[in-house]
Structure 1
């Protein structure tokens, strides 16, 4: 499922680049073409103005009038040899009336946009006129069109990828929930059978010690089945003392850990810290973190669990003195399937994070880690 999603993203990116690149190329081609035509029209307009001034016969009046009147879009400002503004056309009359510097500001703007068309009086070389002109709205639209299209295409890609990602996550969650519930279902039948055999063994007093141990394992299996059964369903959160919950799980792991591993629970002398949790799922998270810490230490070291509350939140830090996590792997540890161990599916931390984030509306992350010095995982819960 991940590969098709990546292929979709790659395909959309290629299509977007192709569309935008083609649009930019073609719009720039059109913009240059329009700019050449506008300059040609301004040059014709200038010639028509000068023809009207120099032709005393009146023979060209009709042609001049047509050329001058046809320019309704290109703004032009004329200056003399002393840089005085002598005339202008196609400027906003309302802005001219309200702002005395409007025409002069437009002149500075036009100088940056286009080179002036210069006309020199053939009868007096000291007299020259400069005609500065600005971009028409059509040219501006053509030039800005690629940016608008880029924005639209980008929004389309973002919406599409967001929809695909949401769909992928939803499907992934359904797979997780389905697998968990099926596992719980499959465990149910042999558990019932084993419980029956245990009851039969109780009839023989010689089996007393065996029965006690078997019942512990059966109860453990029932707990595991119950945990898997709750995945995918909205758990009922209740106020519980997390100090007691964590202490119980530490004691459970301590009995199964090597003798060279020490466990410390530090609550700052506080015996009760309340948080809203689902006990079976919360215990699963703590168990996973403690087992993960044990695996990181390879038989010796220390595991310290700090619990404290502050401003409506409960912080639980699980720190080990193990081999640490490489910096490039820190963002991968919660991904399904990632593991540095020879055995295991790499699902423990992924499940733990889902339980804390999705069901408890909290946080689970790597607070810090240093190679050969250890790692600290932090859980944040609402009080």
Structure 2
């Protein structure tokens, strides 16, 4: 699937490059052709003006008037050899209202036209030498041809982005279905041995000598049932209920503490509050806290401290899970929530990925690494909206 996605992406990139490259070259060719044609038109326009000023022949004057009136697209400004505009009407195809309103308008246009084209020089007299300059700019058609590759590039880029998003979304949807199917099948497979274990526990309870063992085994069987229930709910929309967050955290810390080395110290700080209610799915939320606590334990070599801080803010409930373990390197912080990423010798690297999905997709909250320093520990933060 990944290889197929990469092939699609490579093919799209080559197609886009080919389209854009071809468009740029062809548009550049058209722009040069139009620019050469427009320069010829300006030359004809200038020569007709010169002819009109030096002849009294009515037919010649009429012809030059027709030629000059036909230019309705190319902006032109006539100046003397010092770039001073010859007269108040010695410009063509420019906004006369802007010329009247802004005294620098023609001057700015001359500077703009200088960057676009060389002016056409017309000799007025030889002795003394005197000539006029005719500056001209790009017509709207030429501007459109020059901007066309940019517009097409934007369109192609949008097409590629939309296609990649569609392919990526489809791949993620397929992956989600696979994981959900695996989780439900795991829950189904656990069901039969769990039922059998429950029967054996009940039989052990009948013998007074095994009562203590039976009670502890019953707790572990209940735990397995909870795990099976969690797997069975993956892929379906969980129901959120109002729960006491402090109580849920305390229960999970107590469960992990019983299975942790004696030299690991656990603390919970809720700032003297005994009840902070939030909308959660208790089994899935427990799973997240359990994963964070287990990761904290794995980060320590059998000794250290784990603290959980619960803050009741105006709009959010903040839960910080901190440890004094080995910490996370800067290059790994961005990867800790990616499926399959793990620094452990055992495990699939799915715990933090699933935890993040549970908090952010199901509970509309946030889960992120608040702080981590190699050799000093890590703090994960959960933000639940009230």
CA contact (8 A) 2:77 2:85 kept: no
The answer for the alignment partner of 2:288 in structure 1 is: 285
The answer for the alignment partner of 1:74 in structure 2 is: 74
The answer for the alignment partner of 1:224 in structure 2 is: 227
The answer for the alignment partner of 1:299 in structure 2 is: 302
SS, match of residue 316 in structure 1: strand
The answer for the alignment partner of 1:91 in structure 2 is: 93
Q: Deviations over 1:272-308 (max 9, x none)?
A: 2211111111111111101000001021111111111
Q: Deviations over 1:57-100 (max 9, x none)?
A: 67866765665454332222212346232454541466368646
- Please list, as runs of the form range in 1=range in 2, the aligned pairs for 1:82-161 lying within 5 A after superposition: 83-86=84-87, 87-88=89-90, 90-92=92-94, 95=97, 99=101, 101=103, 103-161=106-164
Check 1:34–1:60 CA distance in 2 against 1; reply closer, same or farther (3 A cut): same
Tell me, in whole angstroms, the C-alpha distance in 1 between the residues paired with 2:95 and 2:380. Answer: 69
Unpaired segments of 5 or more residues in structure 1?
none
The answer for the alignment partner of 1:15 in structure 2 is: 15
Tell me, in whole angstroms, the C-alpha distance in 2 between the residues paired with 1:197 and 1:100. Answer: 97
TM-score by length of 1: 0.91
Structure 1 position 56, deviation (Å): 5.8
Tell me, in whole angstroms, the C-alpha distance in 1 between the residues paired with 2:325 and 2:2. Answer: 32
1:197 partnered with 2:200? yes
1:49 partnered with 2:49? yes
CA contact (8 A) 2:324 2:376 kept: yes
Higher mean C-alpha displacement, 91-100 vs 145-154: 91-100
The answer for the alignment partner of 1:38 in structure 2 is: 38
SS, match of residue 127 in structure 1: strand
Tell me, in whole angstroms, the C-alpha distance in 1 between the residues paired with 2:68 and 2:186. Answer: 86
1:268 partnered with 2:268? no
Tell me, in whole angstroms, the C-alpha distance in 2 between the residues paired with 1:291 and 1:7. Answer: 39
Higher mean C-alpha displacement, 323-332 vs 106-115: 106-115
The answer for the alignment partner of 2:176 in structure 1 is: 173
- RMSD (CA atoms): 2.4
Structure 1 position 204, deviation (Å): 4.0
The answer for the alignment partner of 1:318 in structure 2 is: 321
CA contact (8 A) 1:337 1:346 kept: yes
Structure 1 position 16, deviation (Å): 2.0
Tell me, in whole angstroms, the C-alpha distance in 1 between the residues paired with 2:101 and 2:108. Answer: 10
1:212 partnered with 2:219? no
Structure 1 position 43, deviation (Å): 2.0
CA contact (8 A) 2:125 2:131 kept: no
TM-score by length of 2: 0.91
Structure 1 position 234, deviation (Å): 1.7
SS, match of residue 334 in structure 2: helix
Check 1:322–1:97 CA distance in 2 against 1; reply closer, same or farther (3 A cut): closer
Structure 1 position 112, deviation (Å): 3.4
Tell me, in whole angstroms, the C-alpha distance in 1 between the residues paired with 2:298 and 2:24. Answer: 57
CA contact (8 A) 1:75 1:88 kept: no
SS, match of residue 317 in structure 2: strand
SS, match of residue 187 in structure 2: helix
Structure 1 position 321, deviation (Å): 0.7
Structure 1 position 139, deviation (Å): 0.7
1:26 partnered with 2:29? no
SS, match of residue 299 in structure 2: helix
Tell me, in whole angstroms, the C-alpha distance in 1 between the residues paired with 2:98 and 2:302. Answer: 86
Tell me, in whole angstroms, the C-alpha distance in 2 between the residues paired with 1:351 and 1:97. Answer: 67
Check 1:257–1:100 CA distance in 2 against 1; reply closer, same or farther (3 A cut): closer
Tell me, in whole angstroms, the C-alpha distance in 1 between the residues paired with 2:288 and 2:59. Answer: 98
